[in-house]
Amino acid sequence: MQPVPNHKQTLPKRSINIKRLWEQYSVIIAFSILIVIAAFVHENFFTSGNLINILRQVAIIGIIALGQTIVILSGGFDLSVGASLALSGAAGIAVMNHTGSIFMGVATTILCAMLIGAVNGTLITKGKIAPFIVTLGMMASARSIALYFADGGSSTGKVDGFTQIANGELLGISYPVYLFFAAVLVIYTIMKKTRFGRHVYAIGSNEKAALLSAIQVNRVKMAAYTLCGLLVGISAVIESSRLNSISSSSSGISYELDAIAAVVIGGTRLSGGKGSILGTLFGVLILGVLNNMINLMNVSPYLQGLVKGCIIIIAVLLQKREN
Amino acid sequence: MSRIRLEMKGITKSFGGVQALKGVDFSVNEGEIHALLGENGAGKSTLMNILGGVIPADAGEIWMDGRPVRISSPQDSKRCGISFIHQELNLIPDMTVYENLFLGSEMVSAYGFVDAKRMIQETRRILDMLGVQLDPEAIVGKLDASLKQVIEIAKSLLNESNIIIMDEPTTSLTDREIQHIFHVMRTLRSKGVSIIFISHKLQEVIQFCDRYTVLRDGELSSTGRIADTDEEKIAQAMVGKEVLKQQVYRPRALGEVVLEANGLHGGAFHDIRFTLRKGEILGFTGLSGAGHSELMEALFGYRPKTAGEVWIKGRTAVIRHPKQALASGLGFVPKNRKESAIIKDMSILENFTLASLGKVLRFGFIERKREREKFQAYREQINIKAGNPELPITSLSGGNQQKVILAKWLEADADIIILDNPTQGVDVGAKSEIYQLILELAEKGKSFIVLSSEIPEIQKLCDRVVVMYQGRVTAILDREEATEGRIMMYATGAKSQADTA
């Protein structure tokens, strides 16, 4: 047996700060490196047209990823976001066509998605069922209802002006990009500055301690899933307005996985309690830039999945090393 | 005189700045049951973890059967014939007895398949040797707690261990089950196996063990043959004279009754009645499993009560959620700080304001500056040694973490604070600081319920003490009556105040 030197007290303060810096900014650093590479790889990358295009493409997944971040930070999971998008989008188009009112359609879509989130939340908190199971069941059910009502086909909007929501532009930038950044700002503020945000982090990190600190754990979780539903609803409006239709079989397919990928790349811990909205923003942007690079370089689109998969695994590997 | 099997010489170990073991000598003979005793934090588990290869010693030697050995991993320890049976058993409840026994060392037939027949035979042989009637194909999860212990013992025999360390094996067992375990232990002794028996129950030790070693504050306090000593002498060796003399308690005037429990029932406790007065420090004690921790969790709304009522400041309080408990002025510092009290991903500051965020909101947004100011006030008042409050709470020592959790409730305006083993995992210096703090706060009119498994702690702090045994209150003793012997008598169920009344 040998004496063990005591590392704990000799650890210099500076190395702690560097570690903290890396923890907070590693996604941003990764994103910057990626941008530089992209700029070298193709001369068209750094044109404003291309950059705006990237933002437009990531807006839908981006908004969903914000909701997913909240749920994951609370120690949960939501697999139902893609199916919920299809169902609530189709419901909104149906109501809009029936009433002739865009407002009614949008309101229906958002309320429907929030309702799905609230049902998830209720089953998870009151039913005490694992979030993975509840939302997996919800994913299958919501998709099935959407398929049943559309008979497997698409619903198409019959009201003029509806497509303006996703395709309209201001200063050369389409509305969904503004919506995405507005959502980032609002959700960032909620998570960072409000009591609700603080409680979400506490629950995700240590649910028992949170409850024993007099936090209304069930209520906070319900709110997290419902808020996630709201964001899915906004995405559903954009998605249905983009092509003026929702396909019951293909809209929203694998969006849940893309959203979770963005959250994970953004450095949020999958078991909750640690992570940030800014991280998710950069996670979304990294995925967008990668897809864009693949297009610009004329690589087969079938390889997009491979690149995405590698990036997710590398991101998690790097986080592991930080701990 | 039998041969010496194990000798540990001059074992030293420190964690951070705290010296857990200061050159301890420890020896065990062949074929004996050796009791290892000491208060929580005396160094028992550290010593055994070193022997089990879980943690390395800073200095010292280990000799087995007259030869020096090196133990730097659990595998080394196993190879030396040492088995460590932990308090939380390492069994897979859904598997059968023999599957658990052979887990990781399955017998394999000539064709490469698992040889169940031979394993069942072998299991039967070992169980017979222990004198236990048990079907090798029974599912472990459905067995008695004592039988699970037996399986762990059988497992160590399978590894041909000749030293078995048992860490408080009897705490969660009934009297009948305890007899069972000791029967098995005696059988083992007759076969030359040495057993190191860690326990808090002195009665058992006197009854069943051959020799004993007492540790105190990381040093050897006393060792010898059980036949040459008695319960009182051992207790003295555990507690130490200096500690007994150390005065913390200060008499003070108590106010009106602020909390009254009236016939509370729940899963682990029955018909609980007690009162708490303003400024009072009320102790609760009992063996583990006596139900006092569960009672407090129920009082705080963390687990359900099935009957009874709670009066707080003259009003009935309906408490089904910790939020309602806090609204009635209750605060709760749970045991197992890491699992139940701190949010380890959060900063000191964030942990501090967790129960009172409403106070630092402005237009619905948290004001960092106000959070910092509030913390600053407590930092001085209750002497929290923290550099930057933005650092993670885990950067603090155990004692300071505990103070932050206490400050959290003070800031949330709790004036009846339940402390469940408040000095668990806290070093000696910080311990007395926490005692001082509790007394000062009590003098200012805060009321405390202090749960403790350490009787000296109760004696230092409390005005009265409630003793529980198997979910029931067996005694409520005034400070003057609360001697160690009397408390133990009520805590072990040997006597109840109801009997004499």
The mean pLDDT value for A171-179 works out to: 90
Pairing relationship of beta strands B33-37 and B194-198 according to DSSP bridges:
parallel
Which residues from A are below 8 Å from B358, CB to CB? 195
Distance separating alpha carbons of residues B448 and B422, to the nearest angstrom = 11
Give a three-class secondary structure readout of B414-427. Answer: CCEEEEECCCCCCC
Determine what percent of chain A is predicted with pLDDT higher than 70: 91
Q: Which residue of A has its CA nearest to B17?
A: A9
Distance separating alpha carbons of residues B431 and B273, to the nearest angstrom = 30
Q: Is A163 on the interface with B (CB under 8 A)?
A: no
Residue keyed to tokens 């029967």 = B183
Whole-angstrom Cα Rg for chain A: 21
DSSP letters, B164-213, are: EEEESTTTT--HHHHHHHHHHHHHHHHTT-EEEEE-S-HHHHHHH-SEEE
Count helices and strands in chain A by DSSP H and E runs = 14, 4
pTM summary value: 0.75
Please tell me the distance in Å from A194's CA to the nearest CA on chain B.
5
The mean pLDDT value for B365-385 works out to: 86
Q: Are residues B342 and A8, on separate chains, in Cβ contact within 8 Å?
A: no
What value does the mean pLDDT of chain B take? 85
Q: What domains can be seen in chain A, in order of their start residue?
A: 26-322 (1.10.3470)
Q: Which residue of B has its CA nearest to A5?
A: B58
Please tell me the distance in Å from A302's CA to the nearest CA on chain B.
39
Distance separating alpha carbons of residues B11 and A3, to the nearest angstrom = 11
Which residues from B are below 8 Å from A213, CB to CB? 322, 343, 354-355, 408
Q: Say how many CB pairs under 8 Å bridge A and B.
A: 92
Structure token digits, residue B408: 């959290």
> Which of B343, B349, B370 to mutate to probe the A interface, most A CBs <10 Å?
B343
What torsion, rounded to 10 degrees, do the Cα atoms A176, A182, A183, A184 define?
110
pLDDT digits (tens, 9 = 90+) for A279-320: 999 999 998 988 888 888 888 888 888 888 888 888 777 766
The reported pLDDT for the residue numbered B8 is: 92
Select from A195, A209, A273 the Cβ nearest to the Cβ of B341: A209
pLDDT at B246 over 80: no
Structure token digits, residue B63: 């000799």
ipTM: 0.81
Q: What domains can be seen in chain B, in order of their start residue?
A: 4-245 (3.40.50.300), 257-346+414-500 (3.40.50.300)
pLDDT digits (tens, 9 = 90+) for B36-85: 988 766 888 889 989 988 888 888 999 988 899 998 888 888 888 898 88
B112 to B115, B159, B249: CA distances (angstroms)? 9, 22, 68
The mean pLDDT value for B275-293 works out to: 88
Q: How confident is the model at residue A7 (pLDDT cuts 50, 70, 90)?
A: very low
Which residues from B are below 8 Å from A215, CB to CB? 322-323, 354-355
- Amino acid at site A223: A
Distance separating alpha carbons of residues A116 and A139, to the nearest angstrom = 10
Q: How confident is the model at residue A185 (pLDDT cuts 50, 70, 90)?
A: very high
Query: Which pairs count as long-range contacts for A91-96, CB under 8 Å and 24+ apart, including other chains?
Result: A92/A236, A92/A237, A92/A240, A93/A155, A93/A156, A93/A157, A93/A240, A93/A245, A93/A246, A94/A149, A94/A155, A96/A157, A96/A158, A96/A159, A96/A162
Q: Which residue of A has its CA nearest to B405?
A: A213
The beta-strand segments (E) located in A87-206 are 154-156, 169-170, 173-174
